[in-house]
Amino acid sequence: MLYRKDELSRDDRGYVRYLGRTSDGKQAKFRLGADENKARLAAARLSLLWSRLESQGRTWGHATLLLAKAIAKGEMEVTFSHPTAEDNVFAATMTDLNNQYGDIIRVVPANAERFERGQKANDELAALVLEALPKPAPLVSLVSGTLHDALNDFRLHLVEHPDHSGHFRNCMTAVDRLKERHPDFPLSDMGEAAMWQMLEYWAKRPTVKGKQRPISRHSAQYHIKRLREFWRWLHRSEKYSWRKPDGWEDMRVKITNRPEDREKKAKALLIDTFKVAELKLLYRHSIPLVRAFMLLALNCGFKLAELATLTRAELFLDAVHPDAEMIGTHLLKSSWIRRLRGKTDVYSEWELWPETTAAVRWALVRAGQIGERDLIFVTEMGRPYNAKTKGGNKPNRIANLWNETLLKSGLPQDRRLSFKHLKKTAATIIRKHYGAEIAGMYECHGTVSKTDTLADIYANRPWAKLFEALTHLRQELAPMFKE
């Protein structure tokens, strides 16, 4: 029977594989048994073993032929003895064979005690050689500075690039708190492990300074956000050579939940709103300026920021709506506010009630007497209501006026809701009768339909429906205007 010596073949005794050459140049012959499946598996393992030897420029030797013949028999391990070698040479050879070919066939010692003695001798020799080597000079860190140094410079960076908002002051406070809560250490030690530790500190919600209760989830999230912002700044800083480790963006921590969080969430599902009788009481005890604030809060959903930035250019008094036919509203003269929301640049407009129109006219006269020609509402000194105090603090002028009104009204303490609840009261009424989309337009939200985020691209918003909702709102609140 003819066959090629470099392929699996069969004779009268079973399958045969010729593979590789010995040191004397002869081709090695391996008998693989009579079972074809086992023979093919053994031939594949032999080919893998030979390819490794060949890549090293080696031929079949005594030890590797021992492994190959065991593979040819279908064995998964082979016993190795090497009786003429010293114990340490035996152990080193055993270790080398397993390191190179152990994934193909496992090599086990014929004498375990002899192997252990040889391995111990090799370990002792390696230790002596290592001890004799000259000691390397200690590494000098290329990253200078400490955590607190960097946080101080980050704070200076924030001061040099303020955004003139309450958020800016919160950032400054958060940076101070990072320095207060995290001990100082060299930036060279701020690797991935230290960064994880800093993130987890806030994720576990430490206690509020001087109190036993933990910080809120929002506060934990805020400090984690500022910490990441600090790392990004530090990475870009020319003063410090610290760099973010690879994959740092994937460092995510889960903020600890506490039983009281569920209670707060459950309470948040029920929004506090004013009753009409309470609004009537507040309206009766309000000075004209606060009445104007109340009317714009209810009629247009304004909060403190919108009141402080309302301008003459955004008012359209005693006029037919310029786009009345297109949006499907009435062609009668009325009064309107049309503006972009300052925080998001979302456009909205509201038809004003007669009471709101009268209050706005009063405010225009007042502003003119003070000398203001742009803003509708300014203080008696002509300062905008959103201007910071001399100490750089967030202004509370409108909130203080509202608190005075709450006090004069005689409402119970638990019903003295903040100014923003006027908007919530009106939005709740509108949503009840006209749905979430119209309520979202009233509140000047960017996306008012969760089911169709592209609606604003292909169709105009139903402004006429919003104006109808405002008329209905005025009817529900009518008792508050009656003396």
Across 284-311, average pLDDT: 96
Is the per-residue pLDDT at 452 higher than 50?
no
Q: Report the amino acid identity of residue 82.
A: H
Which tens digits make up the pLDDT trace of 262-280? Answer: 666 655 557 889 999 999 9
Which tens digits make up the pLDDT trace of 182-206? Answer: 999 999 999 999 999 999 999 999 9
What integer pLDDT is reported at residue 138 of this predicted model? 60
Across 102-124, average pLDDT: 90
Q: Using CA atoms, how far apart are residues 208 and 213, in angstroms rounded to an integer?
A: 6
The first and second tokens of residue 320, run together, are 């037919």
What integer pLDDT is reported at residue 443 of this predicted model? 93
CB 382 within 8 A of CB 371: yes
Which tens digits make up the pLDDT trace of 467-481? Answer: 999 999 999 999 999
**Residue 78: band (very low, low, confident or very high) from pLDDT cuts 50, 70, 90:** very high
Burial class (CB in 10 A: 0-12, 13-18, 19+), 366: middle
Q: CB-based contacts of 333: which residues, under 8 Å, 6+ apart?
A: 318, 319, 320
The first and second tokens of residue 281, run together, are 């009481």
Is the per-residue pLDDT at 295 higher than 90?
yes
What integer pLDDT is reported at residue 451 of this predicted model? 46
What integer pLDDT is reported at residue 454 of this predicted model? 42
The alpha helices in 255-396, defined as continuous H runs, are 259-268, 276-284, 288-300, 304-309, 324-327, 354-370
The alpha helices in 85-165, defined as continuous H runs, are 87-101, 112-132, 147-160
The first and second tokens of residue 477, run together, are 């609140």
Q: Give the three-class secondary structure for 60.
A: strand
What integer pLDDT is reported at residue 5 of this predicted model? 47
The first and second tokens of residue 125, run together, are 């020799």
Q: Using CA atoms, how far apart are residues 420 and 264, in angstroms rounded to an integer?
A: 19
List the single range of 35-49, 110-124, 154-168 with lowest mean pLDDT: 154-168
108: β partners:
79
What integer pLDDT is reported at residue 183 of this predicted model? 95
CB 298 within 8 A of CB 422: yes
List the single range of 82-86, 170-174, 351-355, 456-460 with lowest mean pLDDT: 456-460
Across 57-85, average pLDDT: 90
What integer pLDDT is reported at residue 167 of this predicted model? 60
Is the per-residue pLDDT at 286 higher than 80?
yes
Q: Using CA atoms, how far apart are residues 178 and 471, in angstroms rounded to an integer?
A: 51
Closest CA to 293 of 403, 168, 393, 413: 403
The mean of the pLDDT values for the chain is: 88
Which tens digits make up the pLDDT trace of 410-423? Answer: 999 999 999 999 99
Q: Report the amino acid identity of residue 23.
A: S
316: β partners:
336
Q: CB-based contacts of 367: which residues, under 8 Å, 6+ apart?
A: 373, 375, 376, 377, 378
What integer pLDDT is reported at residue 267 of this predicted model? 57
The first and second tokens of residue 62, run together, are 């005594």
The first and second tokens of residue 168, run together, are 């800016």
The first and second tokens of residue 107, run together, are 């090599």
Which tens digits make up the pLDDT trace of 204-218? Answer: 999 998 888 899 999
What integer pLDDT is reported at residue 312 of this predicted model? 95
Which tens digits make up the pLDDT trace of 10-48? Answer: 888 899 999 998 888 888 999 999 999 999 999 999 999
Query: Residue 431: enclosing H or E segment and its boundaries?
Result: helix 420-442
Query: Residue 351: enclosing H or E segment and its boundaries?
Result: strand 347-351
In this prediction, what percent of the chain has a pLDDT beyond 70?
A: 90
Tell me the chain's radius of gyration from C-alpha atoms. Answer: 41
Phi, psi of 223 (to 5 degrees): -70, -35
Q: Using CA atoms, how far apart are residues 408 and 428, in angstroms rounded to an integer?
A: 26
In our burial notation (b when 16+ CB lie closer than 10 A, e otherwise), range 308-334 reads: bbbeeeebbeeeebeeeeebebeeeeb
Closest CA to 477 of 284, 299, 242, 261: 299
What integer pLDDT is reported at residue 2 of this predicted model? 36
| Maximal C-alpha separation, the chain | 120
Closest CA to 301 of 326, 269, 335, 337: 337
Q: Report the amino acid identity of residue 415.
A: R
CB 390 within 8 A of CB 399: no
**Residue 258: band (very low, low, confident or very high) from pLDDT cuts 50, 70, 90:** confident
| Domain range list for the chain | 9-126, 147-268, 276-481
* More reliable by pLDDT, 345 or 187: 187
Is the Cα torsion angle 459, 460, 461, 462 positive or negative in sign?
A: negative
Fold of 276-481: hpI Integrase; Chain A (1.10.443)
Q: Using CA atoms, how far apart are residues 427 and 421, in angstroms rounded to an integer?
A: 10
What integer pLDDT is reported at residue 453 of this predicted model? 44
Pairing type for strands 77-80 and 106-109 reads parallel
Q: Using CA atoms, how far apart are residues 433 and 423, in angstroms rounded to an integer?
A: 16
Is the per-residue pLDDT at 99 higher than 60?
yes
CB 384 within 8 A of CB 308: yes
